Amino acid sequence: MASILPIIIAPDPRLKEPCVSVERVTPEIVAFMDDMLETMYDAPGIGLAAPQVGRLLRIIVVDVSKDPDNPQPYQMVNPEVVWTSEETFEYEEGCLSLPEHYAEVTRPAKVRVRYRDRAGVEQEVEAQGLLAVCLQHEIDHLEGTLFVDHISKLKRNVILRKLQKTKKHLRIQDMAEA
Ligand code: K1U
Ligand code: ZN
């Protein structure tokens, strides 16, 4: 049975590190990807990258269907963007590691992504719309890049300072309850 993993909240140095490639898709990697998918659905979210749960591995999961009756999950090992369109697309992004903060980010409108699936087989997907946005957002996580790194320094610092304050308050609350 899959487990729900704790999600790391920014600011945290583990969210700023580049991740390492996965050599082989072992049963342990498959079990970890199942835990990631369960964690993403539970949050709820439409994507999750391994560093968000403390593993600095090049693994992401995505499901933009938002429909529990018809899920369309992707579990990707070593995903890489191999083509982007000239055309761009603006979308108000969120992140499970930056809860309750959103900002407009402009990215290529279409991308082609190469990855290995849970059987270790190389695959490619061409995406547009929300799937393209989400894939780029999750692959960014693997380089230690957050959506706030695509907005102005002023807006980024406002969001990160607010999150730091929230984390501090939560720690004080935890200590008081212990
Ligand atoms: O990477 C993450 O933290 C997941 C993030 C993915 C994402 C959202 C929006 C644009 C780009 C990438 C989220 O899933 S935030 C939560 C969210 O968007 C959502 C949650 C429930 C239903 C629908 C959307
Ligand atoms: Zn994110």
Query: Would you state the pLDDT for residue 51?
Result: 99
Residue 147, pLDDT above cutoff 90: yes
Instruction: Note if 138 is an active site residue.
Output: yes
**CB 63 near ligand 1, within 6 Å:** no
Contacts of 40 (CB under 8 A, 6+ apart): 46, 47, 48, 61, 63, 96
**CB 105 near ligand 1, within 6 Å:** no
The residue annotated as part of the active site, out of 87, 92, 122, 138, is 138
- 92 Cα–ligand 2 center, Å: 12
User: Count of CB atoms within 10 A of residue 104's CB?
Assistant: 12
Give, in degrees to the nearest 5, the angle at Cα 49 between 34 and 11. 135
- 20 Cα–ligand 1 center, Å: 23
pTM of the model: 0.97
Per residue in 11-50, pLDDT (tens digit) is 999 999 999 999 999 999 999 999 999 999 999 999 999 9
Per residue in 86-140, pLDDT (tens digit) is 999 999 999 999 999 999 999 999 999 999 999 999 999 999 999 999 999 999 9
